[in-house]
Amino acid sequence: MATIRKLDDQQIAYLVGETKFQVKPQPPELQQHSADSNEHVLEEFFNAPRKAGRTITRNDLEIFKSIKSVRVLLEALTLKPEGSKRIELLQQNNAFPIFTIECQLSKELVQYLPRNEIFNIIQFESDQFHCQTQCTRFGREAQRNINLKPLIEDLDENASGGESSLNLGRLHFAVRWREPGTCLNELLGFGVLELRDLLKDALLEQCKCVTIHRRGVPLATVYVKVNLSLEGTTVTTPTNTGASTAKCLRCS
Residue 191 maps to a domain? yes
Q: What is the mean pLDDT of the chain?
A: 75
Categorize the per-residue pLDDT at 157 as very low, low, confident or very high, splitting at 50, 70 and 90: low
How many folded domains does the chain comprise?
Answer: 1
pLDDT at 250 over 60: no
What are the residues facing 194 on neighbouring strands? 170
Contact of 126 with 99, CB cutoff 8 Å = yes
pLDDT at 222 over 90: yes
**What's the longest Cα–Cα distance across the chain?**
87
Residue 9 maps to a domain? no
CATH code assigned at 187 = 2.60.40.150
Residue 81 maps to a domain? yes
Q: What are phi and psi of 69, to 5 degrees?
A: -160, 160
Full residue range of the structural domain in which residue 96 is found: 48-241
Residue 218 maps to a domain? yes
| Per-residue model confidence as pLDDT tens digits over 39-89 | 444 455 555 555 555 677 788 888 888 889 998 989 899 999 999 998 887
Residue 35 maps to a domain? no
Residue 152 maps to a domain? yes
pTM of the predicted model as reported, rounded to 2 decimal places: 0.71
- Concatenate the DSSP letters of all residues of the chain into one string: -HHHHTS-HHHHHHHTTS--PPPPPPPHHHHHHHHHHHHHHHHHHH-PPPPP-PPPPHHHHHHHHT--EEEEEEEEEEE-HHHHHHTHHHHHTT---EEEEEEEE-HHHHTTS-GGG---EEEEE---EETTTTEEEEEEEEEEE---HHHHHHHHHHHTTT-S-----EEEEEEEEE-TT---PEEEEEEEEEGGGGGTTTTT-S----EEEETTEEEEEEEEEEEEEETTEEEEEEEEESS-SS---TT-
Contact of 169 with 144, CB cutoff 8 Å = no
* Percentage of residues in the chain having pLDDT higher than 70: 62
Residue 13 maps to a domain? no
pLDDT of residue 239: 52
Residue 34 maps to a domain? no
CB contact burial 87-125 (16+ within 10 A = b; e otherwise): beebeeeeebbbbbbbbbbbebbbeeeeeeeeebebebe
| Per-residue model confidence as pLDDT tens digits over 181-202 | 888 899 999 999 988 887 765 5
CA 208, CA 241: separation in Å to the nearest integer?
A: 7
